[in-house]
Amino acid sequence: MPDRKKLEEQVEILRGQLDQNPPLSDEKREALEALIAKFEVQLELEPATQSPSIADDVNRAVEGFELDHPGIAGTLRSIVITLGNIGI
């Protein structure tokens, strides 16, 4: 399933962006780490059992990173599109 592979790649990009230690508050860093953990769980589930709420979580995260961290926000937007392609 190519979209799942693309999602895995995007999550890795997001992890790399986080590893570059951008100036994030502890709260934003923890929220992003929790979101990455949620993606990892979702990737292991069958598509039929995946929660559509993760897309809502990502959309909220985009809003939180848009102004100060546009690169992270862009990656998150790509993830939202991929989730939609997967049917989540």
The pLDDT tens digits of the residues spanning 55-81 come to 888 888 899 898 889 999 999 999 888
Single out the residue of 81, 83, 88 nearest to residue 52, CA to CA.
88
Inter-CA distances, 20 with 3, 14, 47, 56, 72, Å:
26, 10, 31, 25, 11
Question: Residue 51 pLDDT > 70, yes or no?
Answer: no
Q: Give the structural domain span for 52.
A: 2-20+29-86
**pTM for this structure?**
0.78
Rounded to whole angstroms, the Cα distance separating 17 from 28 reads 13
Q: Give the pLDDT band (50/70/90) at residue 39.
A: confident
Would you state the pLDDT for residue 57?
A: 87
What is the percent of the chain with per-residue pLDDT over 90, rounded to a whole number?
28
Number of domains in the chain: 1
